[in-house]
Structures are given as structure tokens and as C-alpha cells.
Amino acid sequence: MRQERLQKIMSAHGVASRREAEKMILDGRVFVNGILAKLGQSAEFGSDLITIDGKPIRTEDKHIYIMLNKPRGYITTNCDDRGRRTVMSLVADVEIRIYPIGRLDMNSEGLLLFTNDGEFSNRIMHPSYEKHKTYEVEVFGDVREAIKLLRQPINIDNRLIQAANVELSEVNSSGGSIKITVVEGRNRQVRKMCAACGVRVRSLKRIAIGTLELGDLAIGKWRYLNEEELKDI
């Protein structure tokens, strides 16, 4: 075994994401061998006793991976101090503590992954792994002109962004539907791209992450990923 940062150990064993783990350490909830832990501290899992709220991290914790078809009206967070509905209420019957990978904003819907495996979460989220995310977007406005612009680099938050793929799905009297695939998945990126191209988003649904597709999973329901899906993604 080798020494690793506490937040990495906590994330790898499904305690929390690295960011949440850092907050736990700062809040004084983490101890190593009976001594209050400090942010940036390292330890050796299996040799050092790491406890959170007095309970040790266990080696037998099982990693699980699920997908949820997130409805609109829910925020992607573990809890909300304003009393808004969170996606955690939709996976409350999962037997092990899990957390969402990435985010979908309140008014977006579709594929959202959950896990207690920090390394898996990092591989899905980090841009270096290039996990493409595909969205179905209904918009108001000149959709044909927007398609032309979306296929070019766009300046979003002082950064040039380019979609991996853009397809026109439908044109109607008020706008139409677009399928957009992006790699980075920055905060509200697709909505900002559409706004920069002169169209307003009516609805936004994530339908795929890499090779993993939402399929016919009902809105508000979740299921476990199977071994083949995990291997592919």
C-alpha cells in the first residue's frame, strides 16, 4: 500500500466525492489514528485508521453504479438549504450511499449517473477521458441558422468551445429540435451555446454519455448498470 491524500481515499471507497470529502475534513469530521485530520494530509488505507463521524471506512464497501432518468424540477445536489427537491430523493431506495456524477440543471432532464466509486466518477467527469455527452434540445428561433453557427467554435465564458457533433432533427413553425454532442460538459454549456447562436432552449434532455444510452427508462426511475455497460463506458 502507499500513502494517498485523504480525500482521494474517501472518494475511492464511496464515502463522498473529493470536493465533499475536503469539506468533511475542514468541518472536523475526519480523524486519522484518533487525531483530527487536516486538509492535504495523506494516509495509508489499511494501515491507518481513518474515521468519519467516529465510523471507520470499511474495506468491504461495495461499489455500485446506477442511471436515473432525471425529471425537470429537481436540482443535482445531495441537499438544498432552500428546500428544493433534489435528485437524491429519487434514489432514496438505493441500499448504499451514492452521489451524482456531474450535474443536470433544474430545468434539464435525462441521463444522470450515480455511484460511490470515486475513480469511476473521475473517469466520467474529467475532460481528458473525452466522454461525449449527447443532448436532445428543443429550441425557439431560426434553427437552421443556429445549426450553421453551432458547428463552428463559439466563445462561451471567454473560452472557445466546439461541439463534437450537431444534427438537425426537426424544423417547425416556432423553431425545431437539435441533437448536440459535447465533450467538456461545462456548466450550462449547451444552453449557452444555443443562446450564443440566437435560439432559446425550450427543453433539454441528455440521452447518452459515451456509449451509454438512456433508452426507454421511465422519467423519475433508476436502474443498475450492467457489466457490459460498465465495460463499454
Distance of CA 186 to CAs 40, 107, 108, 151, 161, Å?
A: 26, 16, 14, 17, 10
For the beta carbon of residue 222, count every other beta carbon within 10 angstroms.
20
Identify any residues that bridge with 179 across adjacent strands, giving them in sequence order.
136, 167
pLDDT exceeds 80 at position 184 = no
Q: What is the pLDDT of residues 1-17, one digit of tens each?
A: 578 899 888 877 767 77
Q: What is the pLDDT of residues 50-105, one digit of tens each?
A: 999 998 887 556 788 999 999 999 999 888 888 899 999 999 888 777 889 988 99
pTM of the model: 0.74
Q: Give yes or no: residues 198 and 141 share one domain.
A: yes
Mean pLDDT across 161-188 = 90
Tell me the pLDDT band of 196, cut-offs 50, 70 and 90: very high
Of all residues in the chain, the percent with pLDDT exceeding 90 is 60
Mean pLDDT across 206-228 = 94
The CATH code of the domain that includes 144 is: 3.30.70.1560
Q: What are the DSSP calls for 180-225, one per residue?
A: EEESS--TTHHHHHHHHTT-EEEEEEEEEETTEE-TTPPTT-EEEP
Please state, in angstroms and rounded to a whole number, the distance separating the CA atoms of residues 161 and 155: 6
Q: Give yes or no: residues 108 and 217 share one domain.
A: yes
Q: Number of folded domains in the chain?
A: 3
Q: Which three cell numbers stand for residue 29?
A: 469530521
Q: Give yes or no: residues 146 and 162 share one domain.
A: yes
Q: What is the pLDDT of residues 21-57, one digit of tens each?
A: 899 999 999 999 999 999 999 998 878 889 999 988 8
Structural domain that includes position 15: 4-56
Please state, in angstroms and rounded to a whole number, the distance separating the CA atoms of residues 11 and 219: 29
What is the reported pLDDT for 119?
A: 81
Q: Give yes or no: residues 191 and 216 share one domain.
A: no
> 120 versus 111: which is more confidently predicted?
111
Q: Give yes or no: residues 117 and 219 share one domain.
A: yes
Contact 210/132 with Cβ under 8 angstroms?
Answer: yes
Which of 56, 73, 94 is the last residue before a domain boundary? Answer: 56
Q: Give yes or no: residues 204 and 144 share one domain.
A: yes
The CATH code of the domain that includes 102 is: 3.30.70.580
Tell me the pLDDT band of 187, cut-offs 50, 70 and 90: confident
Q: Give yes or no: residues 124 and 139 share one domain.
A: no
What is the reported pLDDT for 209?
A: 94
Q: Give yes or no: residues 92 and 187 share one domain.
A: no
What is the reported pLDDT for 195?
A: 95
Q: Give yes or no: residues 18 and 121 share one domain.
A: no
Cell 483530527 locates to 36
What is the reported pLDDT for 31?
A: 95
pLDDT exceeds 80 at position 143 = yes
Q: Give yes or no: residues 149 and 115 share one domain.
A: no
What is the reported pLDDT for 3?
A: 87
Please state, in angstroms and rounded to a whole number, the distance separating the CA atoms of residues 137 and 204: 5
Mean pLDDT across 94-119 = 89
Which is nearest to 113 in space by CA: 64, 165, 79? 64
Indicate the range of 27-31, 54-58, 150-154, 174-178 predicted with least confidence. 54-58
Q: Give yes or no: residues 205 and 141 share one domain.
A: yes
Which of the residues are catalytic? Answer: 105
What is the reported pLDDT for 127?
A: 67
What is the reported pLDDT for 59?
A: 57
Q: Give yes or no: residues 184 and 83 share one domain.
A: no
